[in-house]
Amino acid sequence: MAPEGKFLFGVAKVGQKGQIVIPKEAREIFGISPGDTLAILGDIKQGIGIVKVNDYEAFRKMLTEGEQK
């Protein structure tokens, strides 16, 4: 059983155009809808992360403000 707030939604196969399908449960939990813009983040050791752009912008702003302090 995964720790609270952590999920394993399954696996996704990459199509010929590099596309994946985000599982329905993940889309529902994270409020991802058709037409949403997603930011694809990467870390060599951690892997790939996907966030909605509006969520990413808030996160980026928080990091930027933190660097200024």
Specify whether the CB–CB gap between 50 and 39 falls below 8 A: yes
Question: How much is the pLDDT for 51?
Answer: 85
> H helices of the chain, where?
24-29, 53-68
Structure tokens at 20: 């994946």
Along the 69 residues of the chain, how does pLDDT read in single tens digits? 778 889 999 999 999 999 999 999 999 999 999 999 888 888 999 999 998 888 777 777 867 776 565
The predicted pLDDT at position 17 comes to: 97
Give CA–CA dist 14/40, Å, rounded: 15
Amino acid at 14: V
